Amino acid sequence: MVPALSGLFAPHWEEAARGTILGMTQYSTKAHLARALLEGIAQMSREVLEAMDRDSSAAGVQSLSLLRVDGGASRNN
């Protein structure tokens, strides 16, 4: 799942992009969709963190050593 309901922002900056769900079969369940959404959010977060690390390295700043998160998705079991 690509959770891009209003475009893909950092680090891609594609405002015309839209969310998509791929690979579904007749056996896909709500649990599969929920997991795919959470994994999509995690992958997008990883891409942003990698871009931040690249940019900070280029500026001579030390890599991130701590990440704190909040919001509804962070409380999901």
pLDDT for the residue 30: 94
Q: What is the mean pLDDT of the chain?
A: 85
- SS3 of residue 9 by DSSP: coil
pLDDT (tens digit, 9 = 90+) per residue, 58-75? 778 777 788 888 888 778
Percent of the chain having pLDDT more than 70? 99
Nearest to 46 by CA among 1, 10, 22: 10
Specify the amino acid at residue 48: V
> pLDDT of 17-53, one tens digit each?
888 888 899 999 999 999 998 888 888 888 888 888 8
DSSP annotation of 47:
H
**Global pTM value:** 0.73
